[in-house]
Every structure is written in C-alpha cells, then in structure tokens.
C-alpha cells in the first residue's frame, strides 16, 4: 500500500506528522521527542508498503529539526524495506551529537 508521510512545521513551531492526510503525531516545540511505539503506530507497516515523504515548512522554521525527523523516519523505512521485516535488531547508529536540537 502506498503511504504518504507528511512532516509539517506549523506556525507555532510544532511538528505535525500525517499519513495519507490523517494527522497522527504532533511533536511540541518545547518537547521534541518521539517514542518508538509512536513510530510503530505511525508507520503501521505491512510487507509491500511504499512510503513517500513530503516536508512542509513554508516559513522555514527550524529547518534542521524538521530534516532530522525526516531522516530518522526515512532511515527506519529503508531499514524495514531492506530487512523484509525480520525480527532482528535495528541499529540506526544515531548519536546524540547528530541531533540538531
């Protein structure tokens, strides 16, 4: 199934993540965290899913932060596609120094 993930920075600098135009997660500007279970529910992955990403940031607020969340989700999706959802460990090699906020 095709799933379009939109990552949008709104006027209040909250990040809204939608799947097929259905808002799923809001990441508040003062607490920019996302839990693994939220990502799991967001993706609702099934074998054969195709993910497309759209980044919306009309005012160009905190662009590195938005880019970080996009790269995080894209890396997870790429790992899912290459591993064909085996039950092995996922190692994303992200360090705290890579986080732009």
CATH topology of domain 2-87: Nucleotidyltransferase; domain 5 (3.30.420)
Query: 89 pLDDT exceeds 70?
Result: no
Burial class (CB in 10 A: 0-12, 13-18, 19+), 13: middle
Flag whether pLDDT at 32 surpasses 60.
yes
Helix (H) or strand (E) holding 22: strand 22-27
Residue 29's pLDDT is 94
Summarised one tens digit per residue, pLDDT across range 34-82 is 999 999 999 998 888 999 999 999 999 999 999 999 999 999 999 887 7
For the chain, percent of residues with pLDDT exceeding 70: 81
Model pTM? Answer: 0.77
The pLDDT of residue 86: 52
Contact 66, 57 (CB under 8 A): yes
Q: Of 3, 7, 5, 4, nearest to 58 (Cα)?
A: 7
Domain boundaries defined on the chain: 2-87
What pLDDT score was predicted for residue 100?
A: 52
Residue 61: how many other CB atoms lie within 10 Å:
16
pLDDT at 17 over 80: yes
């Amino acid at each position: 199934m095709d799933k379009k993930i939109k990552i949008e920075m709104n006027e209040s600098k909250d990040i809204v993540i939608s799947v097929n135009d259905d808002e799923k997660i809001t990441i508040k500007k003062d607490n920019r965290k996302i839990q693994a279970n939220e990502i799991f529910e967001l993706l609702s992955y099934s074998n054969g899913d195709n993910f497309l990403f759209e980044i919306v940031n009309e005012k160009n607020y905190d662009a590195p932060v938005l880019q970080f969340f996009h790269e995080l989700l894209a890396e997870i999706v790429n790992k899912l596609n290459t591993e064909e959802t085996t039950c092995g460990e996922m190692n994303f090699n992200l360090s705290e120094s890579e986080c732009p906020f």
